[in-house]
Amino acid sequence: MIQITPHMRILVAVEPADFRKGIDGLALLCRTELSSDPFEGTLFLFRNRRRTAIKALIYDGQGFWLCHKRLSSGRFRHWPSGGSEHAQRLEVAEVQLLLSGGDPAAAGTTVQPWRPLKAAV
């Protein structure tokens, strides 16, 4: 089962991906274009050229999960842009907005990034 938790590292590919690629092709894209190891547990998000679908790739310690969401109508209007960067890091609240078709940049989320709690001494 996949759970998107606040302590996860989430990378969104800025440029569209070839959606004919499966797990191996997207894992290679993670290494070459996004400069990240797909075996580290990072959640990677990709979109197609027409902005009608998203693929999520994550390694859970035993194997890869590949999830595909295709809209029945409309498009994902908002997608992070990175300028010269190939990937942009997002927080969980921003990803939830993105997956529901919203704009994380315009929402002005004030959610603090996850951080470990220190034990009282």
User: pLDDT tens for residues 84-93?
Assistant: 788 888 888 8
Is 119 a member of any domain? no
Instruction: Give the pLDDT of residue 55.
Output: 97
Nearest Cα residue to 47 out of 25, 8, 75: 75
Q: What is the mean pLDDT of residues 8-32?
A: 95
CA-closest candidate to residue 48, choices 75, 66, 30, 27: 75
Model confidence band, residue 114 (pLDDT cutoffs 50, 70, 90):
low
Structural domain span for residue 45 = 10-107
Read off the pTM. Answer: 0.82
Q: What share of the chain in percent tops pLDDT 70?
A: 88
Please check whether residue 33 lies inside any domain of the structure. Answer: yes
**Between 76 and 27, where is the model more confident?**
27
pLDDT at residue number 20:
96
**Is residue 61 a part of any domain in this protein?**
yes
